[in-house]
Amino acid sequence: MVKNVIRVVSGIARGRKLFGPSGLRFRPTTGRVKEFMFSYLGEIVKGARILDLFSGTGSLGIEALSRGAEEVVFVEKSSKSLEILKRNLTLCGFVDRAVVLHGDVFHVLRRMGEKGERFDFILADPPFRGTLRDKIVKIVAESRILKPEGLLLIEHEVHDSDSETHGMELLKQRRFGSCVVSVYGELE
């Protein structure tokens, strides 16, 4: 069963209700968090190539497409979430600007690095268990998939706030209740 629980905040799909899973442990990114992330990025989202890690139902990547991103590559491990993600892309008319990959985020990141793939921005909303933020920053830095001047934005639990930067610079952190958004860029 699927229910509408999430809205697109801005852009051409503004106000569109997205589908989310029913009965699963589900923690959608709040409108406040999305607004912060995309206000931080501003107009540079337009025309950008974006990687959405731990995509879930696609809320962050769809927000980017709504605001003018050229392409979003979604990576998600859950088959159920992928079904809903594809349904949301169809609902918003963004299928032609999206690539959906089914698999482990860390394996996909390594493969993309080996292939020389590059992204303007990487958005990550990993499960709130453990300390995945450190692993994400490390593999993004090692794989060199972020373009120069590119940014990595990670939504994570408050208690996962101290982490190695692995050669990246922590540019900003903003707290929203029990979660934090950390923004990283490459060191100059």
52-83 per-position pLDDT tens digit: 999 999 999 999 999 999 999 999 999 999 99
Q: Which domains does the chain have, with CATH numbers?
A: 2-186 (3.40.50.150)
- What's the pLDDT tens digit per position in 112-139? 999 999 999 999 999 877 678 889 999 9
Q: Comparing 175 with 187, which gets the higher pLDDT?
A: 175
Please list, residue by residue across 45-70, b when 16 or more beta carbons sit within 10 angstroms of its beta carbon and e when fewer do: beebbbbbbbbbbbbbbbbbbbbebe
pTM score: 0.92
> What is residue 132's predicted lDDT score, i.e. its pLDDT?
86
User: Which residues have CB under 8 Å from 165's CB, separation 6+?
Assistant: 137, 184
For residue 161, name the pLDDT band (cuts at 50, 70, 90).
low
Contact between residue 170 and residue 136 where contact means Cβ atoms under 8 Å apart: no
Question: CA-CA distance, 36 to 24, in Å (whole number)?
Answer: 26
> What is residue 160's predicted lDDT score, i.e. its pLDDT?
61
Task: Count CB-CB contacts under 10 A for residue 42.
Answer: 9
> What is residue 100's predicted lDDT score, i.e. its pLDDT?
98
For 161-171, what is the mean pLDDT? 79
Question: CA-CA distance, 183 to 152, in Å (whole number)?
Answer: 6
Average pLDDT of the residues of the chain: 89
Element holding 57 (H helix, E strand): none
Q: Give the three-state DSSP class for 7.
A: strand
| pLDDT at 1 exceeding the cut of 50 | no
For 94-107, what is the mean pLDDT? 97
